[in-house]
Chains A and B, each alone.
Chain A
Amino acid sequence: MTVLELVKPPAPAPVPVERPKNRTDFYVAVSLTTVVLALLAWNITGFPTASDDEGTYLAQAWAVQNGKGLAHYTYWYDHPPLAWIQLAVGAWLPGLIAPSLLAVAAGRIAMLPLQAAGLLLVYVIGRRIGLPRWAAALGLLTYGLSPLFLTMGRQIYLDSFAVVWILAALALALSPSKHLWHYAAAGAAAAIGVLSKETILVILPAVLVALWQNTARSTTRTWAFGSFASGLVLVGCFYPLYALLRGELFPGEGHVSLFGAIQFQLGSRSGSGSIFEGGSGANSLLHSWMYYDSVLLIAGAVATIAGLALRRLRPVTVAGAILILVALRPGGYLPAMYVVQVLPFFALAIAGVLFYALSRLQHWWKWTAIALAVVLAAVVVAPRWYVGDRRALTANDNAAYVQAAHYLRAQPPSTIVVDDVLWLDCVNAGYAEDRVLWFYKLDLDSEVAARLPGGWRDVDYIVSSPALRQDPGTLPTVTALLRNSTVIESFGSADGVIEIRKVVKEPS
């Protein structure tokens, strides 16, 4: 029995011809990804300097692994937890294989599979917005070889999870088979992206543009949107549901809440100033990004704006344009890892605009343009990227942390105040988990303060690192500890020095 197939479709749809499967795309994407991944992995423990945020997320992943809830301190809905839940799946492995590594450095290795997925997705999206192989490959390489990616792509940032999932959502929304379940999966992937890092929500319109374009003149458009909405809403609602089930959805006396946290993030967080204003937080952040890679940022921004005029590129350029607008908004808060979300869209915009520009030129104009692009790449891009990538592959910026971690491991466990980077190293070395304290929690988390009835005198050691010294005087207990302690060991030099300080408890 068969279903009635005598049907002639209303529009003569192209009959899919069974051809031997062409695997060229697969080989191109996988081999390029392998190359970039090798560069990413090389010296991943040495560069860049372990940051406090990395330690935070890794410690939260550790809490998930060990069944201690979503964080080892009170989880206050600062970020949705899906990114470090994913991190928890892989973060235990590197430490098992190479236990002598700094915990944060080992955790970075767990980011590699994720970044591989991101690189492959950039290629897939490139192909699905109509780019030929060379242009999709160019997009992948522009993304992967940028010193900014080789720096921030190594670090344990929630944004990396979010951006990979939103890339997956885009790729699925652009599915060539236009399968209803691909659209549902696109919605689910977008929801996972948002639950990995909430800020990715702003580029959801780009996914909708992709969906709209891909279902144009299709008989199933309304179903496609219904399917996408189902995936998005139903997966997304698990987060508020979690809060609801814990009785923490709405603000109330004596407990944290999801809405309270959202209010704080949107309203109370102090802005970083305007990006154009010299000396503002946002401006110096932009400079630090430009320091790593001005090429991708400038060319990408230009290509994004130009690419808005090209229909096929719009899913990518709308994402990039929204991210530019958000960064430019005056007085908003701009985090350092913001740029992680921007990079793949800029890279794709560059490759796309280049392809569409070349395809519109004729004969020798075309060859002149190609020659110009090659010369520019060789003279402007290559030297800058060479310097940046070389630094990523050779610098050893974590030596002081490694030495401090080794020193702490050799000591008998005690009550110790550290920054987020060293926390997991201490816990792994056998320090009681509730006697290793993140320095800022001493003053900001009443539950932690309660562990120290005698105040700072209950602390045996404090490890002073750049992160801890960042805002001197704002945390009274930390200030007291620094004042009443003596250096017994120090690693590194100048600004980056890490000191092990013993707390002097006798009243002076």
Chain B
Amino acid sequence: MTLAAAIMIFVSLVLAAFAAVTLWWTMHAWRTPETLAGTRFAPPDGEQHLTFSLLLPARHEKAVLEHTVERLLRSTHEAFEIIIIVGHDDPETTEVAHRVAATAPARILVVTDHNEQKNKPRALNTALPYVRGDVVGVFDAEDQVHPLLLEHVDHAFRATGADVVQGGVQLINFHSSWYSLHNCLEYFFWFRSRLHLHAKKGFIPLGGNTVFVRSDVLREANGWDGTCLAEDCDLGVRLSSRGKKVVVAYDSTIVTREETPGSVGALLKQRTRWHQGFLQVLRKGEWRRLPNWRSRMLARYTLTSPFLQAFSGVVIPVGVAIAIWAQLPVLVALFTFLPVLPMAATLMFQIVGLHDFGREYELRIRWHHYAKLVLGAFPYALVLSTAALRAVWREYTGRRNWELTAHVGAHLPAVEGAAA
């Protein structure tokens, strides 16, 4: 009994510490008004010096591709080209790609990826030899890119001397389902806050799109890792380890808007892929080359945290249930409630975050959205932990193929409606 109690107390303390650290970092941007001001994108100076090559891998994306390219073409920047990458086995998307390319032949190039095994990093690597711009930008086929974004990025590169600029990405269709609400908020906290901390501490897992890298730096790093399921995270880790300068800039008016996966199953697949990718990056060990101990610890912590988070999201409620029903000694039972503190505080901040999210994106948040947020917290944690378990299982049984997330364009009317 004493041993069981000691284990309970120990596990509770570890979980509480983990949850507290995660919360501390997640709230980075809002620590003081000064830190919040420091995360904003600077207004551009109106000058344009850089040339951009925007890579747009599209695989079975005929529903959204055209719209995405149209929006990219509306960009206010003068010097950019769009390279659409399609698969040789995907005639429908290829057809759409050629059709939109014909509308702006000087701007758009269609490249065909002949790799037998298709995935995003291989598609991006296929396009790299065709790149002519100073800076490579990556977008996904379903992205809603703001016309002013390139001007901002141009200015950011010049003003900071950065090698990499990570812009903001935001899932916007929070109203679609209970999980999309949580998914949107995850993005909000990640891009609005957490990523800035990573940039500051010198270890940053980059996002999958709206990421801009100087072409020479990218070529020097041999492009993307075609075998990695989280090529974006991997690139960030490799560039961080080489001491490249990464800056993060966020402005709600020019973030790239995206949609959440269309079903819980799709979310599960996507999350499995990310988690497995994180695991691969961890095993590759590039992060060991980071210059100091602190950023190595941050790297280790960040790459393992999806698993810890998944684990604690399930174990904490179970521990509390045990504490209430199993007649533990009162003191031990009180200890099992310790991790609930940061967990409940996280939920409290998510409520505030949802309010802020609505304000920044001029979306109407109703009371039932808050209710969904609270009620959906535990089921969402279940989905994440299932994905984490799946990821571990797949990685150790050698199943490393790419499970694609399908897009139907649920964010498009939402965005149009919000913009109106």
Contacts and interface: CB of A to CB of B under 8 A. Distances in A.
Contact of B202 (A1, A177, A178): A1
A179 B162 CA distance: 29
A13 B323 CA distance: 49
Contacts of A218: 33
Nearest to B341: A234
B29 to A, nearest CB: 9
B348 A229 contact: yes
A6 interface: yes
A3 B31 contact: no
Contacts of A177: 32
A223 B334 contact: no
Interface in B1-53: 24, 27, 30-34, 36-43
Most buried by B among A6, A8, A219, A241: A6
B327 to A, nearest CB: 9
A220 B349 CA distance: 12
A8 B348 contact: no
B348 to A, nearest CB: 5
Most buried by A among B204, B247, B344, B345: B345
A42 interface: no
A3 B349 contact: no
B330 A4 contact: no
A186 B330 CA distance: 27
Interface string B227-258: 00000000000001001111111000000000
Given A1-B244, A241-B337, A180 B38 contact: no
Nearest to A5: B38
Interface stretch (B110-118, B350-358, B402-410): B350-358
Contacts of A8: 42-43
A180 B196 CA distance: 17
Interface string A279-291: 0000000000000
A365 interface: no
A222 B37 contact: no
B334 A7 contact: no
Interface residues of B, number: 50
Interface residues of A, number: 36
Contact of B42 (A1, A4, A181, A219): A4
Contact of A220 (B32, B159, B160, B204): B32
A481 B23 CA distance: 61
A246 interface: yes
Interface string A364-380: 00000000000000000
B200 A2 contact: yes
Interface in A349-371: none
Contacts of B156: 4, 6
A230 B344 contact: yes
B324 interface: yes
A219 B196 CA distance: 17
B199 interface: yes
Contacts of B159: 6
A245 interface: yes
A88 to B, nearest CB: 15
A230 B349 contact: yes
B333 interface: yes
Nearest to A229: B348
B34 A13 contact: yes
A147 B162 CA distance: 65
Contacts of A181: 24, 31
Interface of A: 1-10, 13, 177-181, 184, 218-220, 222-223, 225-227, 229-230, 233-235, 238, 241-242, 244-246
Listed from nearest, the 6 A-B pairs whose CB atoms lie closest are A9-B37, A226-B352, A230-B345, A6-B159, A4-B247, A6-B42
Interface of B: 24, 27, 30-34, 36-43, 155-156, 159-160, 162, 165, 196, 199-200, 202, 204, 240, 243-249, 323-324, 330, 333-334, 337, 340-341, 344-345, 348-349, 351-352, 355-356
